[in-house]
Amino acid sequence: MKRLLYIPLVLVWVLSCKKDSFNDLSPNSAFTTVSGIWHSIEVERSSLDNKSTWEPIEAAKSDSLIFRTDGVVLNADGTPRCCAPATMIINGTLVDVKPSTALPNNPLCELLNCIPCPSWEISISDDQLIIASCNSPRVKYVR
C-alpha cells in the first residue's frame, strides 16, 4: 500500500522540476528595458547638510554606456566596461549578468585596480536611467 502512495509522489516531484536552460535562451525582460545606448547628463551631489542636488555634466565630460540584452555593459566604442557588475537591481528586481557571447579583451582594464562592486542599482522610467553603484554618486542617463 505504501508503494502506491510513493509512486504518485515521485511522479509529482519529477514533473514539478523546471528546466533552467529555457530561461538562459530568452533575453531577460529586465535587461530588454535598459538595452541600448545611454548618455550621462547629470550627477547627484550631496552637501554637508545631507541635501542632494543634480548637477549637469559638461558635454565634453559626458559618458556613454551601451547595455546589451544579456546585461553586459559596454563603452561607447564597444569594448567591455571595466569594473562592470556581476548583478544588477533593475527597478527592484535582482538579475544576474550572464554574457551570451565571449567578450573581447579591453586593454584599459589591465591598468585599473577595480574595487569590486557586486551590483549596480538601476532605476528606469521612460527614457531616463539612474545608476547607483557602491561608493560613487548616482548618475542620470538618457537615451
Q: How many domains does the chain have?
A: 1
Q: Is residue 78 part of a domain?
A: yes
| Residue 120, burial from CB neighbour count under 10 angstroms (0-12, 13-18, 19+) | buried
Give the global pTM: 0.74
Of the chain, the percentage scoring pLDDT greater than 70 comes to 85
Looking at the predicted structure, is the pLDDT value of residue 118 above 80? yes
- Quick count: other Cβ atoms within 10 Å of Cβ 78? 9
The rounded mean pLDDT for the chain is 85
Q: Is residue 11 part of a domain?
A: no
Residues 12, 9: Cα–Cα separation, whole Å: 5
Q: What is the DSSP letter of 50?
A: S
Q: Is residue 120 part of a domain?
A: yes
34-39 average pLDDT score: 94
Residue 31 domain boundaries: 27-142
How many residues make up the chain in this entry?
Answer: 143
Looking at the predicted structure, is the pLDDT value of residue 129 above 90? yes
Q: What is the DSSP letter of 78?
A: S
Instruction: Give the pLDDT confidence of 45-103 residue by residue, as tens digits.
Output: 988 888 899 999 998 999 999 999 999 999 999 999 988 899 999 999 999 999 988 88
Phi-psi domain of 36 (left: phi exceeds 0; alpha: psi -120 through 50; beta: other): left
Contact 124, 95 (CB under 8 A): no
